[in-house]
Structure 1
Amino acid sequence: MSLEEKFPAYGGRGPADFRLGIALGLVATTFMILRVYVRLRVNKFGTTALLLSLLAWLFTMLTQVFGFLSVLHGLGNHITVIMKVGELHNFLLFTWITVFFFNLAIPTGKVAVAAFLIEMNGQGNPKIRRSLVAIAVLNIVLNIPQLLLVWFQCSPVDALWDPARQAQCDHRKSVYYTYFVGAIAAISDFYLAIVPIHMLLPLRIDPKLKWGLSFLMGCGVFAGVAAIVRTWAASYILSEDSSYGVGTLFLWGEVEEWLVLITMSIPPVWPLFRPFTSKFIRSHATRSQQRYNYNYGYNSKQPYSTTAVGDQSPGFPPPNYPPPLITTTISISSAKDAETIAASEAESRLSDERMPRNIIHDKNAQPWVEMKEMKDGRSP
């Protein structure tokens, strides 16, 4: 028996919303498992952020479960269909439970991102640290009224899911407050996506690796876009065909929830992908060196020319060919202040540029990411 036959209110936008939520949920859950593995087996960094992320994952999963129950009972379908098959009570009950857990998941996810960035930043930039604390506190404080408004839209409370007493409910205050909180959530997402890029740019690492990580960590801007759309879609709660319109709200809400969890998990699981990136960089560097030798007509396997000793022919080899590539280990840890960073950078400038060195190092903390730098310069 199909779901349409077993649940006659199932249909409309609901099935597509649920399939997208399952796909994003599987990706986010995989990342969360990898984060736990990294924390237990690789390093000790980011414990607080991991616990907050697991809590956000739990709230998001509960949102998805009750959202699926809502879809089975009519979420995303037209209100006339729901009333015809007698599922209006179940639709209202599961939908408002979904909204409640959604209002828990959204701020918790943003607090988890802020906590990770605070640990990542350490004491390196006090302004960034204070701004991240402000983002976390703001999202918590502003969402407390949002949680309460869900249950105080009707008098008495159980009229919220009673089809016969919907006239006793006033959803306008909740919807208007959602506009305000949604705007703050979108701004928070954009800021939390830009901050890690700002942290990565000063690092002396391979440019392609730097921009690749910046792009992946900056994907949080898509969560901000989703926050804007779902805030706009909250107006459907006041429409006549609210069940069909709320399908759009649910769709963009789950996109925002899962994207926050996915993008925040990229830096912590990076140690697992670092070996593959190192191989790619070494392979790319080898191909670049081969192309250089080809362009100058130089081949290490080719025998020497019979030219006289004093001959300065530029082809074998050219006078200013580059020295071997230099590798530099970059370690970013959680306990770092500005003086240590400055001292480490000064030491790195005075050290032999042909020897591997740690630019940022902490004896008491494990790095969240280690990356190889490849420089192409001339001999001193």
Structure 2
Amino acid sequence: MSLEEKFPAYGGRGPGDLRLGIALAIIATIFMGMRVYVRLFMNKFGTTALMWSLAAWLLTTMTQIFGILSVLHGLGNHITLIMKVGELHNFLLFTWITVFFFNLAIPTGKVAVAAFLIEMNGQSNPKIRKSLIAVAVLNIVLNIPQVLMVWFQCTPVTALWDPLQQDKCDHRKSVYYTYFVGAIAALSDIYLAIVPIHMLIPLRIDRKLKWGLSFLMGCGVFAGVAAVVRTWAAKFILSEDSSYGVGILFRWGEVEEWLVLITMSIPPVWPIFRPFTHRFIKSTITGSKRKSYMYNYKQPYSTTAVGDQSPGFPPPRSPGFPPMVTTTISISSAKDGGSTIVPSETGSRVSNERVPHDILHDKSYSTTWVELSDVNPKDSQHQP
């Protein structure tokens, strides 16, 4: 028996929404499984971000489950057909439960991304750290009314899913507030996608690796686009054929939810894919000569990309050179000689504390990491 035969209200935009949501859910779940594997067996970085990500995944999964039930009972199909087959009650009930979990999942996902970037950034850039905290707090605070409004649109509350009491409901305030919160969510997604690119661009690492990581980590922009579309689609809640129009809102809502989880999981699972990226990474060694690169901002920040380090120290700065805070991003190697970029919880490193050795041939290195840390301006003065 087909779904159309078992669920007579199933149809319209519903089947497409169903297939897309399940496909994205499978991909996101695989990524989350890899994140847990990396955390348990490969490194100890990102525990807080992982916990937030698991919470977001759980809420998004609940959203998807009730969304599937909504689709089976008419979401995405025309309201007249739903009423004809007597599924209006089930459609309303499952749809509003879906909206409830959606309003919980969206801000949780934003907080999870911010938490990861905060751990990755460490104390290296206080402005970025504060802005990430602000994004997380803003999304939580603004979505609290959104969650509560779902249950206060009708008097009594049970009228929300009662087909005979729909005249006792007023969805306008909820929809108008959705426009505001949706705009904040879209801006948050775009900002959270740009921040990691900002961290990577100044680094003098292999260009393919740099732009590849920048693209993957910047895919969160697509979640921002999805947030814009689903915010626009909220207007269909007030339309006469609401069940059909809300199918658009649901489709772009699930795209936004799952894309946030997928894109935020790309950097943490990088160690798993590192062995397969050797051919895309250019060697920084020419013969027996080892290189070290220093990149300085004009602002009071600099970025040091440390690959295979030279025995000598960086050239001393001239007298009177202003104190500089250094953000160190170290690229270490694993035993098999591959280079990668994975965050670490190690502390601050001063440039003149580098140990001159060939990391590509040091078997003691078993993990790979990236370090983003503050360096005391006084310690940054190198001795000639």
TM over 0.5: yes
| Bigger helix share | 1
Deviation of 1:55 after TM superposition, in Å, equals 0.5
Rounded Cα–Cα distance in structure 2 between residues aligned with 1:243 and 1:219: 30
Q: Is the 8 A contact 1:118 1:129 kept in 2?
A: yes
Aligned to 1:36: 36
* 1:121 maps onto 2:134 in alignment: no
Instruction: Give the residue type in structure 2 aligned to 1:101.
Output: F
**Could you say which residue in structure 1 is the equivalent of 2:237?**
237
Distance of 1:333 and 1:50 partners within structure 2: 13
Structure 1, residues 82-123: CA drift from partner, whole Å, max 9, x if none?
000010000000000000000000000000000000000001
Describe the SS at the equivalent of 2:331. strand
Paired AA for residue 147 in structure 2: L
Q: Distance in 1 between matches of 2:275 and 2:370?
A: 11
- Measured against aligned partners, the alpha-carbon deviations of 1:130-167 in whole angstroms (never above 9, x if no partner) come to 00000000000000000000000000000000000000
Matched ranges for 1:91-102 at <5 A: 91-102=91-102
TM-score, normalised via structure 2 length: 0.79
C-alpha change, 1:128 and 1:220, in structure 2 (3 Å) is: same
User: Hey, what's the Cα distance between the residues in 2 that align with 1:131 and 1:233?
Assistant: 29
**SS of residue matched to 1:202:** coil
What 5-or-longer segments of structure 1 have no aligned partner? Answer: 290-321, 358-362, 371-380
Amino acid at match of 2:241: D
Find the counterpart in structure 2 of residue 153 from structure 1. 153
Alignment partner, residue 380 of structure 2: none
**Which residue is equivalent to 1:330?**
331
Query: Identity of aligned pairs, percent?
Result: 77
Partner of 2:18: 18
Letter in 1 for 2:133: V
Q: How far, CA to CA, are the matches of 1:271 and 1:150 in structure 2?
A: 42
| Paired residues for 1:219-258 under 5 Å | 219-258=219-258
Instruction: Work out the CA distance in 1 between the residues paired with 2:44 and 2:203.
Output: 22
Q: State how 1:199-214 maps to structure 2 within 5 Å.
A: 199-214=199-214
Residue 204 of structure 1, CA deviation:
2.9
Cα 1:43/1:159, change in 2 over 3 Å: same
Cα distance per residue 1:22-62 (max 9 Å; x no partner):
11111100000000000000000000100110010000000
| Structure 2 gaps, min length 5 | 291-306, 309-329, 333-341, 372-384
Deviates more, 1:196-205 or 1:260-269: 196-205
In the alignment, is the contact (CA less than 8 A) between 2:344 and 2:370 conserved in 1?
Answer: no
Number of the residue aligned with 1:8: 8
Q: How many residues align?
A: 320
- How far residue 278 of structure 1 moved from its aligned partner, in angstroms, is 1.9
Between the aligned partners of 1:325 and 1:90, the Cα distance in structure 2 is 71
Q: Is the 8 Å Cα contact of residues 271 and 369 (structure 1) preserved in structure 2? A: no
Going from structure 1 to structure 2, the CA distance change for 1:272 and 1:62 (only over 3 Å counts) comes to: same
Determine the C-alpha separation between the residues in 2 that align with 1:194 and 1:324.
38
- The one-letter code matched in structure 2 to 1:93 is L
List aligned pairs for 1:1-380, cutoff 5 A. 1-281=1-281, 326=290, 328=308, 330-331=331-332, 333-335=343-345, 340=348, 343-344=350-351, 355-356=358-359, 368=369
| 1:45–1:368 Cα contact (<8 Å) kept | no
Any conservation in 2 of the 1:270–1:369 contact (CA below 8 Å)? no
Query: Alpha-carbon deviation of 1:276?
Result: 1.1
The equivalent residue for 1:316 is none
Say whether the 8 Å CA contact 1:121–1:334 is kept in structure 2: no
Partner secondary structure for residue 281 of structure 2: helix
Asked if structure 2 preserves the Cα contact closer than 8 Å seen for 1:45 and 1:367, the reply is no
The CA distance in 2 between the partners of 1:347 and 1:111, in whole Å, is: 35
Q: Calculate the TM-score normalised by the size of structure 1.
A: 0.80
Give distance in 1, aligned partners of 2:240 and 2:289: 67
- Look up the equivalent residue of 1:119 and give its one-letter code: E
SS in structure 2 at match of 1:54: helix
